[in-house]
């Protein structure tokens, strides 16, 4: 069997906006939040965007907000398909945070400040006390559940294409376990409502996992994902100097304020930056000799990340440098950075919140194409839609 026939493709979608999302409340794995009208609308838009893909099976979290999103997506993609063919499983439910469920983010930050900062900075050893004798480790428990899901599902669907609809935390853990990212980087991967991510498993095994796209939201009218922490910090918009064609990228950043740019001092990089910055006359441009580029961008991050305001920088450099930036943000060793399928002609965004928090990969391989080529539509069209009912 050829490696192409053995490759498994997984499209991840976070559920649509819920009532708790709209109110800024912690959800955890409670089942009270329902989809809002916006949530249903974005689910339909997601189904329309994925319509040309043919999935062999659909899996969803058993929580209501995820179930409703999966059913709405399926109804849009394939109205004649029975929604009972969707596989609902408890293994994909959201991170358990029972002590905070239903509480506002601001309330938790102010009234549980020590626990909140521990959760944000060290999720891998964060313990949530439940009464005098019971406690849980939310991130570690989630990673274990997600690992069980992969062990059950991947061997069942070698060479097939899957759609998984779950939650922000669950999808972060699915991506992390596929790439070998440790639980201490749990908060380093952003997942927006109805954001689309794509994983490839070339030989069908979890160990072969690679990330082809992450948190694409243009199909629901959002270009760059919303910032995770407000007030101060740094966001880098990363653009490979191998980018082509630039006319598809420039409009995506036209409405984004770019405070500074760091550009390799060569004609190709300068031409790309010139096109991008046509509508940004206020941007401070910094040219860097190629041999000093890695050191300069790291110095730039360290300097700008201490700012008391929020600033955005554009980085135009070669693909390997950008891959190193993304790998560093996710804690991926340089020897394993081939698991990041960064693509010329796309934008990748990293946010550096400061305050001792790890960087956040907001989006990877954002394209100006109407049907994002990262989804490899042509290659996936040949797959038949054959949802497989299996026990959860």
Give catalytic residues, as residue numbers: 15, 94
| Contacts (Cβ under 8 Å, ≥6 apart) of 237 | 224, 253, 256, 258, 312, 313, 314, 315, 347, 348, 349
- Residues 194 and 216: their CA atoms lie apart, in Å, by 9
- Residues 273 and 241: their CA atoms lie apart, in Å, by 9
- Residues 254 and 369: their CA atoms lie apart, in Å, by 16
- Residues 166 and 63: their CA atoms lie apart, in Å, by 9
Structure tokens at 113: 């400040």
- Residues 290 and 43: their CA atoms lie apart, in Å, by 44
Chain-centroid distance of CA 121 in Å reads 19
């Amino acid at each position: 069997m050829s490696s192409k026939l053995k490759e498994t493709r997984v499209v991840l979608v976070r559920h649509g906006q819920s009532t708790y999302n709209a109110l800024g409340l912690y959800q955890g794995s409670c089942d009270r939040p329902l989809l809002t009208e916006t949530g249903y609308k974005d689910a339909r838009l997601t189904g329309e965007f994925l319509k040309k893909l043919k999935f062999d099976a659909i899996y969803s979290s058993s929580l209501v907000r995820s179930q409703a999103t999966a059913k709405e997506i399926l109804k849009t993609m394939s109205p004649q398909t029975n929604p009972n063919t969707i596989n609902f499983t408890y293994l994909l439910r959201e991170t358990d945070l029972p002590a905070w469920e239903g509480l506002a983010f601001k309330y938790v930050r102010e009234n549980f400040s020590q626990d909140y900062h521990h959760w944000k900075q060290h999720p891998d050893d964060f313990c949530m006390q439940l009464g005098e004798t019971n406690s849980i480790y939310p991130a570690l428990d989630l990673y274990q559940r997600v690992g069980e899901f992969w062990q059950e599902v991947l061997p069942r669907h070698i060479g097939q294409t899957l759609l998984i609809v779950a939650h922000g935390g669950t999808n972060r853990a699915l991506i992390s376990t596929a790439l070998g990212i440790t639980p201490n980087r749990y908060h380093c991967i952003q997942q927006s409502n109805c954001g689309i991510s794509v994983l490839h498993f070339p030989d069908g095994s979890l160990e072969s996992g690679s990330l082809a796209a992450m948190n694409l939201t243009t199909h629901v009218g959002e270009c760059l994902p919303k910032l995770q922490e407000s007030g101060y910090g740094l966001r880098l918009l990363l653009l490979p100097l191998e980018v082509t064609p630039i006319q598809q990228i420039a409009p995506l950043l036209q409405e984004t304020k770019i405070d500074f740019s760091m550009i390799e001092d060569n004609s190709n990089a300068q031409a790309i930056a010139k096109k991008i910055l046509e509508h940004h006359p206020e941007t401070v441009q910094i040219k860097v000799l190629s041999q000093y580029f890695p050191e300069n961008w790291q110095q730039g991050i360290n300097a700008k990340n201490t700012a008391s305001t929020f600033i955005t920088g554009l980085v135009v450099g070669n693909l390997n440098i950008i891959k190193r930036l993304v790998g560093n943000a996710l804690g991926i060793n340089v020897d394993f950075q081939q698991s990041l399928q960064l693509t010329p002609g796309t934008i990748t965004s990293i946010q550096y919140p400061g305050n001792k928090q790890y960087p956040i990969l907001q989006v990877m391989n954002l394209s100006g194409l109407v049907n994002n080529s990262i989804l490899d539509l042509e290659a996936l069209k040949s797959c038949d839609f054959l949802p497989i009912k299996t026990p959860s």
